[in-house]
Homo-oligomer: A and B are copies of this chain.
Amino acid sequence: MDTSARISVLQRVPLFAGLPAEALGRIAGTALEVRVAKNDSPFRQGDPATHGHVVGWGRIRLDQATADGQNVVLRYMGPGDMLGTVAVLRGIPYPATAVAVEDSLLLAWSAPRLSELFNAYPALALNAIRLVGTRLEELQQRLQEVATQRVERRIAGTLLRLVRQGGRRGEQGIEIPFSMSRQDLAELTATTLHTVSRTLSAWEQQGIISARRSSHLVILQPHRLVAIAEEA
């Protein structure tokens, strides 16, 4: 990818919003390109945080392992999302493992580069605060869901969130364009894969979704999912 291609990518990244063109050029110039094959990890929980990243294309899952070996899916990240950057700025190890759910390209900046950039362009720091604030709000939302809603409603809400973050219009409905096991969805929803499986099966019976094993999840009747997500 040449610099001008990178710049056109960076223009759509919220972290770099509002920066002058020359800044984007400099930022693009110092970026490393990291290609990550499906199921590979650009970094793992506990590794020293050496680089801040932005997703160029592809899809990344952020996993957090519990002390006792359990796993929680924190989030899926798509093009334009920033990851690992806060850990670098805080000087702590990565708090989660990143896993590519499809072949992806990350742009990365080393810790010293990142410091230079943040010093040179104070707007970067403000953008970063806004982004982290958004993530914080999203987590509060999820905590609230897990605390107050029953499983079926949570799964519906989670699917709708995934759609918002990276859904695509398909022939028959809205598609979630990356593969995600029942286990992943369970860890994202705070339940078990069994319950997820049962729930999706029921919805498939009712024609709300199409969730054949191999293919990606397709939401055939979004309004019914919304109804489930909002029911008292």
Q: List the B side residues contacting A43 at CB < 8 Å.
A: none
Task: Give Cα A7 to B144, complex, Å.
Answer: 37
Taking CB as reference atom, which chain B residue is nearest A62? B140
Q: Does A35 contact B (CB under 8 A)?
A: no
Q: Would you call A17 an interface residue if the criterion is a C-beta within 8 Å of the partner chain's C-beta atoms?
A: no
CA distance A147 to B189 in the complex (A): 8
Given contacts A119-B122, A122-B119, A140-B74, contact A133 B68 (CB under 8 A): no
Assembled-state Cα–Cα distance A68/B145 (Å):
11
Contacting residues of chain A (137-154) with chain B, CB-CB under 8 angstroms: 137, 139-140, 142-144, 146-148
Closest chain B residue to A65 by CB distance?
B144
Q: Is the interface of A mostly helix, strand, loop or mixed?
A: helix
Binds B, one of A124-132, A162-170, A176-184, A219-227: A124-132
In the complex, A78 has a CB within 8 A of chain B: no
Question: In the complex, what distance in Å separates the CA atom of A229 from the CA atom of B119?
Answer: 42
Chain A residues numbered 86-121 whose CB sits less than 8 Å from any CB in chain B: 86-87, 89-90, 95-96, 118-119
Q: Are A232 and B144 in contact (CB under 8 A)?
A: no
When A119-B122, A139-B136 are in contact, do A144 and B66 touch as well, CB less than 8 Å? yes
How many copies are assembled?
2
Q: If the complex has contacts A90-B130, A126-B125, A133-B90, are A143 and B142 also in contact, measured as CB distance less than 8 A?
A: yes
Is A70 engaged at the interface, CB distance under 8 Å to the other chain?
yes
Option from B89, B132, B140, B190 in Cβ contact (under 8 Å) with A146: B190
Closest beta carbon of chain B to A105's beta carbon, Å = 25
**A126 and B118 contact, CB distance less than 8 A:** yes
The answer to whether B125 and A129 have CB atoms under 8 Å apart is yes
**Chain B nearest Cβ from A86, distance in angstroms:** 4
- Given A122-B119, A125-B122, A125-B126, is A143 in contact with B139 using a C-beta cutoff of 8 Å? yes
The reply to whether the CB of A228 lies closer than 8 angstroms to some CB of chain B is: no
Interface assignment of A135: CB less than 8 Å from any CB of chain B: yes
Tell whether, in the assembled complex, residue B137 and residue A89 are in contact, meaning their CB atoms are under 8 Å apart: no
A160 within 8 A of B: no
B118 and A148 contact, CB distance less than 8 A: no
Q: What is the bound-complex CA distance between A74 and B137, given in angstroms?
A: 11
Q: How far is the CB of A91 from chain B (nearest CB, A)?
A: 8
